[in-house]
Every structure is written in C-alpha cells, then in structure tokens.
C-alpha cells in the first residue's frame, strides 16, 4: 500500500530558488501530460473561465511535442473512447489532431489461451455502428492540445523545461499555496491543479493519501507491421497466464501492441535484442498453447539471442490448428527501436480535492491498461472539474474553495473507483494459471459471449 506523509511543504530535489515575490495566478496546473494540457485548453476554451489567469508548469520540453517527427509512430499509443473524442471536439483540439495517424475500430475481441471456445466479441451494432474507439498516439493528443492553446493565443500560459521544486503553504494573509520553480520563479495560486502523474507532488503537498499496489508486471509496448491491412478495424486481446497481450490497430498494415506480463516474462521480452525473435514470439503468443510459449521463453531466458527459437516456433505454428472462430493477424515486423516497457500499478487517491487543490488524471488514479481506460478517465476528470469551476463562477464563489471543487470529486470518484476495481479483478482472474480459475473464466467468457444485452450495456457504458 502506498502511503503519503502530510507535509505542508513539499521539497522536490535541490532548491535553487531566488527570493522572489510570487506572481498571483487564478490557476496553476502542474504537469503538461494529456490531462494537464486538456484542463488548460478546456479552461481557455470556455467563455465562463477564459478570463482566469493560468500557468501550466511542465518539466519536459513542449517544443519537442510541437515539432514531433512524424516519420515513424511513437510507442505510447492509447485507445480513446467516443466520450473522450467528443470532449476533444468540444474544447476545439480535435481539429488539430493528425487523423491520418489514428485508427478507428469497430470490433473488440478477447480470447483465452486455455481453449479456442473461450472467446468474447463486442461489435458496434449496439451503438448504431459508430466506431467503438480509436487508437491514437499520446503525442498526437498532446500536440493537438498545444495547437489549440496556441490558437487561443494562450501560449504564454505554458511554462516548460521548468520543474516545480517546492509547494508551500502561505504564511501571509492570502492563504493560497506558493509554487516554487526550478528557474527561481514562484506563483501563488487561488487553485492548484495536480496533473503531475503517478508520483504527484501536488497530491503530496495536499496530504491526500493514495492507496493501491504494484502488479509485479510490466506493459511491454511497441509498433508492429502486419501481413495484411484487413485487421485494422479490430482491437484484439489474448489472455495468457502471465497477463494479456493486445494487438491494437493503426492505419493500413501497422498495429501497436501492449503485452502485460509478470516481471519474470517481461524481463525476458526486454532482453531480446533481435526483432526477428521478438516477432516470432508475438506470433506464438497469439496462437500457441502456453506450454509451447513457455518452452520458447525458457530458452530465451538462457540466451535471449537464441535464433533457433524462430524456426522452432514457426514449426509449432504450422502444426497449430487455426481458431476458426477468430481471424488472428500475422505479424511480420516490429518498428526498430519502438519497444519499451512500463511498470504496471493500481492506485487511487482518497480524495481528488482539498482546500485550493484538485487532482486529475494519473495524479488521482492509475489503472491496469487491459481495458484502455487511464487517459479516458483523465479526460472525464477534466470535463467534470471544468464544469464545477464554471458553476462556481456562475455562483460568484471562490474557485479554490472545496465548495466549488467537491462536485467534481463526487461525480468522478465513484465511477473511477468501480472501474479500477473491475480492471483489478479482471487482471487477477486472467493472469492466472490455477486450473479451477481457468475453467471458470473459460466458461464465463463463453457464457458472457452469448449474453448480447449485457455486452451491449457494457459497450454503451464504456464506448459512448
Ligand atoms: C502500457 C500502457 C498502456 C496504456 N493504454 C492506455 C489506453 O489504451 N487508453 C487509455 O486511456 N490510457 C492508457 N494508458 C494510461 C495513460 O497512458 C495514462 O493514464 C495517461 O498518459 C496519464 O496522463 P496524465 O497527463 O495524467 O499523466 P502523465 O502523462 O504522467 O503526465 C504528468 C506530467 O507531469 C509532469 N511533472 C511531474 N512532476 C513534475 C514537476 N515536479 N514539475 C513539472 N512537471 C512535472 C511530467 O513531466 C509529465 O509530463 C496506458 C498506460 C500504459 C502504461
């Protein structure tokens, strides 16, 4: 369980602070990830909140995002729900997305390594044949948001290449928190928004506890080349005993993958330097029985460059009886340098708000990627927080007061809590090789697949 102390001052790294009088701001946002940029774009887009003076502080270089080299795909590619896409349209960033680099999909299919029959499919007939979602690079989303902020003539709000090094309570009459930056500047802000990710300094400053656990698993990601472009309307996931492997569509014959696997397997995947071995392993993981896959993994654990594994797996795949219920893509390549891995964890803050503080995105919650919901939850946080601030302004209230911020917490926390719980249980049930659990989940998948009204309800809840 992660516990945070309750400091009134959070100091992060070495302080090189000038003794400056802090500049007063209505809103300071810490973090220029998708959540932070979304909240700034949304505040500046709304006629009710556009007048608020805002600063967004980001430790990284936002010009790298503005000038992102679009020749290859980046490896952080996520699934966007229709709700998130509508929100991006509402705040005006959608038109700045490079749609040629995105792929909409109409079908979600998941199958279990335990049997060909353990299969569940979701199609878009329940949502009037609208796309069920779209795959999009995180950098494409960030770039579109920065373009929207620039278009609204608010580039001055962006303070990048600068870290928040300390957050202090005020000792003066104005009780607003003071945010001290690595360049020596300081802001004193009516409302401090933590969009600063999993290790959120703002959450620590506010003394808000975050509970959860690390999964002893990593999500290995990368960009693939498929043998055909006929799979680009399908989001496919196979449940293996070490965790799920998802193949998610990109335009034409490209795809991205997320292979969530226990640390032991993930470290074997990481140690493979030869992309041809990796491709052979992905094709095997999509089709073969677990024993065949484990045999290859054991060989690679001894020698990650053992190319004999390629021929061996090919031979086994030729013997494999195709799953007639499901068309499984053939992977022919991996984009050089695109493989990376991220530790997986679940965490949820006890509250998203405190006096003059609001948390959004991964600062408030971190979720297993198997349902592709993390960033979408962050987008919903932003929509709800901005609506709460708008209402506060309509009523003439102080936007930093908990009276204004509480409705945001009340609206988002229960849904996020339920989703975190569901994904956590799914992870535990599916990343498991205990025989009775395999039997129950295999039966459960087949049973669920026949329950069209329940599947339709799930699709409507998650996609619309
Ligand atoms: C393998 C994997 C697959 C995923 N797939 C999906 C998916 O399909 N769909 C989906 O919706 N989500 C998905 N997610 C989750 C999604 O990527 C995250 O939820 C999302 O990127 C979080 O965005 P954020 O802006 O909240 O935080 P972050 O992206 O972590 O941004 C935080 C920012 O704060 C800045 N920062 C932190 N501290 C400071 C400081 N002291 N000073 C200045 N700046 C600071 C950082 O530099 C960073 O830019 C996936 C995650 C993983 C790991």
Residue 18's pLDDT is 54
9-100+138-212+345-426 folds as FAD/NAD(P)-binding domain (3.50.50)
Long-range CB contact pairs, 386-395, < 8 A, 24+: 386/39, 386/42, 386/43, 386/46, 386/49, 389/43, 389/48, 389/49, 389/191, 390/46, 390/48, 390/49, 393/48, 393/49, 394/48
Question: What pLDDT is recorded for position 12?
Answer: 53
> How do residues 312-368 score in pLDDT, each as one tens digit?
999 999 988 777 778 899 999 999 999 999 999 999 999 999 999 999 999 999 999
> Where does CATH 3.50.50.60 sit in the chain?
9-100+138-212+345-426
Q: Are 301 and 281 in contact (CB under 8 A)?
A: no
> Would you place residue 440 in the very low, low, confident or very high pLDDT band (cuts 50, 70, 90)?
confident
Specify the ligand 1 atom closest to the Cα of 36: 25
Task: For strands 186-194 and 77-80, give the pairing.
Answer: unpaired
How many whole angstroms from 229 Cα to the centroid of ligand 1? Answer: 30
Site of tokens 């409507």? 460
Q: What are the φ and ψ backbone dihedral angles of 235, each rounded to 5 degrees? A: -105, 120
Domain 102-136+215-342 CATH superfamily:
D-Amino Acid Oxidase, subunit A, domain 2 (3.30.9.10)
Kindly report, residue by residue over 282-314, the tens digit of the pLDDT: 999 999 999 999 999 999 999 999 999 999 999
Contact residues of ligand 1, CB 6 A cut-off: 12, 30-36, 57-60, 78-79, 138, 163-164, 195-197, 201, 219, 221, 258, 342, 361-362, 369, 372-376, 378
Q: So what's the pLDDT on residue 362?
A: 98
The pLDDT score that the predictor gives to residue 3 is: 37
Supply the pLDDT for residue 453. Answer: 77
Decide if 363 contacts 378 (C-beta within 8 A).
Answer: no
Task: Name the residue among 39, 30, 35 with its Cα closest to residue 57.
Answer: 30
Closest C-alpha to 361, from 377, 346, 344:
377
Q: Which pair of tokens denotes residue 169?
A: 């309570």
Q: Coil, strand, or helix at residue 193?
A: strand
- H-helix segments, 288-397: 290-302, 308-319, 374-394
- Least confident among 4-13, 180-189, 361-370: 4-13
CB atoms within 10 A of CB 366: 23
252 against 128, higher pLDDT? 252
Q: pLDDT (tens digit, 9 = 90+) per residue, 135-151?
A: 999 999 999 999 999 99
- Please check the confidence at residue 201 and state whether its pLDDT lies above 50: yes
Nearest CA to ligand 1 atom 21: 375
* pLDDT tops 50 at residue 1: no
Q: CB-hemisphere CA count at 13 Å for 168?
A: 15
CA proximity to 73, closest of 250, 277, 279: 250
Half-sphere exposure of 224 (CA within 13 A, CB side): 28
Instruction: Please give the distance, rounded to the nearest whole angstrom, from the Cα atom of residue 378 to the centre of ligand 1.
Output: 9
- Residue with more model confidence, 15 or 197: 197
Q: For residue 241, give the nearest of 313, 310, 292, 309 by alpha carbon.
A: 292
Give the pLDDT confidence score for residue 363 in this predicted structure.
98
Bigger pLDDT: 10 or 427?
Answer: 427
């Amino acid at each position: 369980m992660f516990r945070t102390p309750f400091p009134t001052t959070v100091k992060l790294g070495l302080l090189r602070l000038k003794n400056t009088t802090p500049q007063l701001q209505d809103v300071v946002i810490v973090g220029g990830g998708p959540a932070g940029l979304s909240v700034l774009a949304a505040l500046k887009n709304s006629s009710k909140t556009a007048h608020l003076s805002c600063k967004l502080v980001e430790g990284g270089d936002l010009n790298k995002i503005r000038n992102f080299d679009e020749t290859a795909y980046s490896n952080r590619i996520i699934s966007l729900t229709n709700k998130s896409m509508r929100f991006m349209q509402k705040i005006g960033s959608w038109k700045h997305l490079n749609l040629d680099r995105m792929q909409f999909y109409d079908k979600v299919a998941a199958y279990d390594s335990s049997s060909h029959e353990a299969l569940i499919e979701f199609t878009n007939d329940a949502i009037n044949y609208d796309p069920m979602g779209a795959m999009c690079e995180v950098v494409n989303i960030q770039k579109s948001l920065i373009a929207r902020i620039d278009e609204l003539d608010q580039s001055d709000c962006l303070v990048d290449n600068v870290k928040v090094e300390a957050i202090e309570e005020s000792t003066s009459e104005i009780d607003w928190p003071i945010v001290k930056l690595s360049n020596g500047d300081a802001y004193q802000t009516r409302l401090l928004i933590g969009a600063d990710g999993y290790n959120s300094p703002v959450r620590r400053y506010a003394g808000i506890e975050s509970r959860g656990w690390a999964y002893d698993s990593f999500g290995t990601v990368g960009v693939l080349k498929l043998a055909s472009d006929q799979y680009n309307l399908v989001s496919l996931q196979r449940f293996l005993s070490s965790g799920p492997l998802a193949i998610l569509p990109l335009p034409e014959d490209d795809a991205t993958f997320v292979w969530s696997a226990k640390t032991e397997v993930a470290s074997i995947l990481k140690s493979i330097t030869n992309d041809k071995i990796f491709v052979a392993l992905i094709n095997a993981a999509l089709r073969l029985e677990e024993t065949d896959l484990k045999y290859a993994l054991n060989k690679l654990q001894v020698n990650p460059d053992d190319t004999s594994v390629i021929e061996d797996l090919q031979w086994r795949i030729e013997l494999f009886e195709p799953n007639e219920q499901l068309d499984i893509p053939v992977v022919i390549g991996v984009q050089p340098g695109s493989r990376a891995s991220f530790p997986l964890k679940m965490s949820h803050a006890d509250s998203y708000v405190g006096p003059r503080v609001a948390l959004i995105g991964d600062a408030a919650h971190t979720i297993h990627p198997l349902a592709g919901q993390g960033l979408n939850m962050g987008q919903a946080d932003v929509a709800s927080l901005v609506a709460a601030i708008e209402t506060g302004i309509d009523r003439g209230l102080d936007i930093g007061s908990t009276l204004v911020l509480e409705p945001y917490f009340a609206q988002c926390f229960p849904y996020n809590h339920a989703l975190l719980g569901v994904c956590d249980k799914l992870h535990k049930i599916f990343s498991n090789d205990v025989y009775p659990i395999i039997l129950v989940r295999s039966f459960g998948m087949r049973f669920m697949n026949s329950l069209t009204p329940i599947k339709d309800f799930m699709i409507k809840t998650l996609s619309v």
